[in-house]
Amino acid sequence: MVRPNENVEALLQEYADLVLITGGDAFKARAYEKAARAIGGYHADVSTLDAEGLREIPNVGKSIADKVLEYLRTGIMPSVEEVRARIPAGVRELMSIPTLGPKKAMTLYEDLRISSVPELLDAIHEERLRDLKGFGPRTEENILHGIGLMQAAGDRVPINVAMEVAEEIVARMSAVDGCEDCTYAGSLRRMRETVGDVDILVAADRSEPFMDAFTALAETAEVIAHGAKKTSIRTTKGLQVDLRVVPPDSWGAGLQYFTGSRAHNIRTREMAVHHKLKLSEYGLFHAKSGKKIVSETEEEVYARLGLPWIPPTLREDRGEVAAGLRGELPDLLTEPDIRGDLHSHTSLTDGLATLEEMVEAAARRGLRYFAITDHAPNLYMQRMTDEKILAQRERVRELDGKHRKMRLLHGTELNIDPDGNVDWPQEFLQGFDLCVASVHSHFNQDRAALTRRYITACENPEVNIIGHPTTRMIGKRPGLDIDLDAVFAAAARTGTALEINSHPDRLDLSDEHILRARRHGVKFAVNTDAHAPLHLSYLRYGVGTAQRGWLTAEDVINTWPLDRLRRFLRKNGTSGTSA
């Protein structure tokens, strides 16, 4: 299930916000924020730690450790409850509007007595916000956009949250007597970036033992529907999970049906009709006689429709059926194809683990190469200096000799400034094995300026990868308004790879952008951007997103052997790097 670390992180972060907006001590708020992040990224499950163990987490002192312990024991953090009680529920809802934030929400409440989203919408339409300090027409636009994002996200959850729940439930159902097969289907199996509800499928002769075990799960907060074929629950986190039990001999047809997407299923049913057949969740039947033809495996169902098995990540009706008929489905990238990770951080900047810990974790995951790319100096709060990065390089070179199977690359994550330039002079950049470059500021430039900015970065002979290219945060911040086709063309022309950032909050580029970029001949890097060892496991979501963008291993530079990668990093020989 969701790690207790994440609950604690969210709670401490909320506390930090509440302290700030109720006029509390800014230092205190900052301390809680730091502790929140450290706990969220900590490798060990906090619920297994005692006071001493908790204090070993960076930025966690005695008073925070005590609060966490109390919360783990009682499910309540009294200091949070206390500040919460001082703020009306409606105002807390306002605070959760991604583009508004706690401070402005508090101003709205204190100055205009606005304490709900509908009241806020009214106030905007009546232009009452314009008189407030710090609010302009632009702010209104942003707020409206934020409300839109919040409503569009609805009750969908990030893929990693759904995946953790699904894997836990699949494990429990698989342990029930009589289980012949069990997996998750639906949008999660298709690796969509967010998931509306989790669909679990079991193959068994009798359904009741599964339905009973399902409703009895500790995570079940509410039983929405309890039937023989389908049972739906809501978890304590508010996520709906549907369980369906199908007879073992309908497994393939059931899995195909409940994996979807709806649009893909419409295509496959059309194929069936074309062959004078009928396709349902029970099997593929002769239309006239009603006689069952196949149903046991997905492969058989697809084969009888004249199709190869179609990977779930392609089942979105984006041409996969036609490509299958032509025998031209892509040989999709898989996780084992990834030889290395080209974007990671350590505690030298905002990572939560030391260089040694990150390298160790990467080696344990079986990577063949691993790049450390801490933030460059223009991201001021990270306090990077020439001395620090050069000392890190020396340490990286030393460590490199210690791992037999994994090579280390020393890189950096540069900041693309408003003009498209980056940190450090070219000569200094040549000392890195590779440079990621990302936009971290000045998001409000107009489309033309932003587009130029990205193209200039691509044209820099030292920039190898554009990190999280649109800077979106799923459900929180939309991607930048850029002429993507112009940027994709520039990336392809200059030999600059575009990142597919695997963090579940980003997944940037998205599947649709990947499809577009691919047509320009762009190369990609599927990176974790890990800030802690735990984040290395997010790679699967980046790979899933790449699959949804129809990518093969050939399209992705970090599947290549290191010597080929190094040639690519020289950008047609224009760079001096050859370490």
Please list the residues that pair with 399 across neighbouring strands.
none
One of 9, 33, 242, 320 touching Ca ion (CB under 5 A): 242
**Distance of alpha carbon 274 from alpha carbon 543, whole angstroms:** 34
Contact flag: residue 135 with ligand DGT (CB under 6 A): no
Indicate which single residue of 40, 146, 186, 478 sits in contact with Ca ion (rule: CB under 5 A). Answer: 186
Q: How many CB atoms lie within 10 A of CB 327?
A: 8
| Number of neighbouring beta carbons within 10 Å of residue 431 | 16
Helix (H, G, I), strand (E, B) or coil at 373: strand
Return d(Cα 128, Cα 123) in angstroms, integer: 5
Q: Which is nearer to Zn ion, 9 or 413 (CB)?
A: 413
Q: How far apart are CA 68 and CA 9, in angstroms?
A: 10
DSSP 477: B
Nearer to Ca ion, 188 or 465 (CB): 188
Q: Is 265 an interacting residue with respect to ligand DGT (CB under 6 A)?
A: yes
Q: Which is nearer to ligand DGT, 35 or 253 (CB)?
A: 253
Query: Measured from the CB atom, is 242 or 413 closer to Ca ion?
Result: 242
Determine the Cα–Cα distance for residues 270 and 266; give it in Å rounded to an integer: 6
541 phi-psi bin (left φ>0, alpha ψ -120 to 50, beta other): alpha
- Binder of residue 265, out of Ca ion, Zn ion, ligand DGT, none (CB less than 5 to 8 A by kind): ligand DGT
With CB under 5 A as the contact rule, the residue among 199, 298, 300, 511 that binds Ca ion is: 199
Asked if 413 interacts with Zn ion (CB under 5 A), we say yes
For the bound state, the minimum distance from the C-beta of residue 187 to ligand DGT, rounded and expressed in Å, comes to 3
Write the DSSP assignment of 430-468 as a string of letters.
TTSSEEEEE--S-TTS-HHHHHHHHHHHHH-TT--EESS
List all residues 6 or more positions away from 61 whose beta carbon is below 8 Å from its beta carbon.
31, 35, 55
Mark the segment that binds ligand DGT (CB under 6 A) among 53-61, 260-268, 367-375, 455-463: 260-268
- Mapped onto helix, strand or coil, the DSSP state of residue 102 is helix
- Interactions with Zn ion, residue window 65-104 (CB under 5 A): none
Question: For residue 77, which of 32, 34, 23, 37 has the smallest C-alpha distance?
Answer: 32
- Of ligand DGT, Zn ion, Ca ion, none, which one sits near residue 333, judging by CB under 5 to 8 A according to partner kind? none
In the set 9, 17, 197, 320, which binds Ca ion (CB under 5 A)? 197
Q: Does 478 interact with Ca ion (rule: CB under 5 A)? A: no
**Residues 6 or more apart whose Cβ sits within 8 Å of residue 250:** 203, 281, 282, 283, 295, 296
| Cβ closest to Ca ion, residue 152 vs residue 381 | 152
DSSP for 539-575 reads HHHHHHHHHHTT-BGGGBGGGS-HHHHHHHHTTTTTS
Among 41, 252, 260, 504, binds ligand DGT (CB under 6 A): 260
Size of the site for Zn ion (CB under 5 A): 2
| 209 token code pair | 């033992």
Least distance (Å) between residue 225 CB and Ca ion: 11
Q: Which is nearer to ligand DGT, 210 or 257 (CB)?
A: 257
560 binds, among Ca ion, ligand DGT, Zn ion, none (CB under 5 to 8 A by kind): none
Using the rule CB under 5 A, which residue among 197, 341, 529, 555 binds Zn ion?
529
Alpha carbon distance 399, 420 (integer Å): 34
The option from ligand DGT, Ca ion, Zn ion, none interacting with 413 (CB < 5 to 8 A, set by class) reads Zn ion
CA distance linking residue 244 with residue 232, whole number of Å: 9
Q: Which does 337 bind (CB under 5 to 8 A by kind): Zn ion, ligand DGT, Ca ion, none?
A: none
At closest approach, how far in Å is the CB of 197 from ligand DGT? 4
Q: Determine, following the binding rule CB under 5 A, whether residue 499 of this chain makes contact with Zn ion.
A: no
- Kindly tell me the sign of the dihedral angle through the C-alpha atoms of 416, 135, 148, 14: positive
The stretch among 5-13, 191-199, 208-216, 407-415 that binds Zn ion (CB under 5 A) is: 407-415
CA angle 269, 271, 277 (to 5 degrees): 75
The Cα–Cα gap between 353 and 492 comes to 34
Q: Is 319 left (phi over 0), alpha (psi -120 to 50) or beta?
A: left
225 near ligand DGT (CB under 6 A): no
| DSSP conformation letters of 495-535 | T-EEEEE--TTT-BS-HHHHHHHHHTT--EEEE--BSSGGG
Each residue 162-201 as x (binds ligand DGT by CB under 6 A) or -, in order, gives ------------------------xx----x--xxx-x--
The pair phi, psi for residue 525, each rounded to 5°, is -130, 120
Residue nearest to Ca ion (CB): 186
Q: Are 528 and 503 in contact (CB under 8 A)?
A: yes
472-492 burial code (b ≥16 CB/10 A, e <16): bebbebbbbebebeebbbbbb
Count of positions on this chain that bind ligand DGT (CB under 6 A): 13
Q: Does 261 bind ligand DGT (CB under 6 A)?
A: yes
Backbone phi, psi, residue 488, to 5°: -60, -45
In the complex with ligand DGT, the residue whose CB is nearer, 312 or 461, is 312
Per partner kind, with CB cut-offs from 5 to 8 A, the member of Ca ion, Zn ion, ligand DGT, none near residue 529 is Zn ion
Of 199 and 433, which has the nearer Cβ to Ca ion?
A: 199
Minimum Å distance from CB 358 to Zn ion? 13
Min. distance of Cβ 522 from Zn ion in angstroms?
20
User: Min. distance of Cβ 195 from ligand DGT in angstroms?
Assistant: 5
Q: Which stretch in 7-15, 167-175, 523-531, 533-541 sits in contact with Zn ion by CB under 5 A?
A: 523-531
In the complex, minimum distance from the CB of residue 241 to ligand DGT, in angstroms, rounded to a whole number = 10
Nearer to Zn ion, 187 or 545 (CB): 545
Q: Which stretch binds ligand DGT (CB under 6 A): 91-99, 207-215, 258-266, 480-488?
A: 258-266
Q: Is 317 exposed, middle or buried (0-12, 13-18, 19+ CB in 10 A)?
A: middle
CB of 413 to Zn ion, least distance (A): 5
| Nearest approach, Cβ of residue 200 and Ca ion (Å) | 9
Interacting residues with Ca ion (CB under 5 A): 186-187, 197, 199, 242
Interacting residues with ligand DGT (CB under 6 A): 186-187, 192, 195-197, 199, 257-258, 260-262, 265
Interacting residues with Zn ion (CB under 5 A): 413, 529
